[in-house]
Amino acid sequence: MPPHTLSLPSNQFTLHGGCFCKSTLYTITVPPLPSRPLVAADDGAQIRLPRVGSDFCQSCRGVTGALMCFMVKLPQEWLSFSLVRKSENTLKTTNRTESERKRIDLPASAVLQSPSISETSNLVLFSSSPGVSRLFCGKCGINLMFTKSEGEEKGLVDVPLGTLDLEFLEGMGDGGEFEGLRPSARVVMAGPVGWINEEGAWGVRGVGTGEG
Ligand SMILES: [Zn+2]
């Protein structure tokens, strides 16, 4: 089968997602095609952002609790957050619509530069290794962003693919104008648990049934 080529709109478009409890929502604004930077893939080819890859490393496994982690990589300036104020946590919200909940709108750069973000919102910034910041929802625990402050990937962020609203994963539009984000043909398989590449490891033989 030939490698799948990701087809995204060439005009500007937006992606939406958020944490499980919806106290943190985000918007990714992807500019028109000529303004999307190129990055080098593992095989040296140039791939235009946003790019979806997978990571099986010890750190990603540790912070997500998942054996495989798909992330969408993009420039930090494309990402902005809408955060429920922390004071809202103690209010009864059952009779209030989402739009009535008081929110703070901030670009990702402002979130990363705000040491008091956990005092005003549910977001928690965690440094998993030197120069690496990960953003979580402190209320429901979902991992929302990964970024490095140094090196080739400075200025880029990775957003866990599973936090995107479903329509951006499955696609939308009558003519298939937007097919949904999915991993590129070259998926990073660095550092997986040993058995993950074994035949049957992904359930094709009915893992867990005890039958052959
Ligand atoms: Zn949450």
pLDDT digits (tens, 9 = 90+) for 159-200: 999 999 998 988 775 555 677 888 775 555 566 777 776 766
Structure tokens at 115: 């040491």
According to the model, what pLDDT value does residue 171 have?
78
Q: Specify if 159 maps to a domain.
A: yes
For 81-131, what is each residue's pLDDT tens digit?
A: 999 988 777 655 555 565 556 889 999 999 998 878 999 999 999 887 888
In a domain, 26, yes or no: yes
Q: Which positions ≥6 away from 94 have C-beta within 8 Å? A: none
Domain-embedded: residue 17: yes
Ligand 1 centroid, distance to 125 Cα (angstroms): 13
Tell me how far the alpha carbon of residue 176 lies from the centroid of ligand 1, in angstroms.
31
> Residue 33 sits in which domain range?
13-88+100-192
Checking if the pLDDT of 49 tops 60, the result is: yes
Environment class of 177 (CB within 10 Å of its CB; exposed 0-12, middle 13-18, buried 19+): middle
Residue 111 · residue 123 · CB < 8 Å: yes
CA–centroid distance, residue 25 to ligand 1 (Å):
9
Q: Report if residue 172 sits inside a domain.
A: yes
141 found inside a domain: yes
Average pLDDT of the residues in 55-71: 81
Report CA(47)–ligand 1 centroid distance (Å). Answer: 32
Number of domains in the chain: 1
In a domain, 128, yes or no: yes
Which of 166, 127, 123 has its CA nearest to residue 146?
A: 127
pTM of the entire predicted model: 0.83
Q: What is the pLDDT of residues 193-211, one digit of tens each?
A: 777 767 666 665 544 544 4
Give the pLDDT of residue 102.
81
CATH number at residue 184: 2.170.150.70
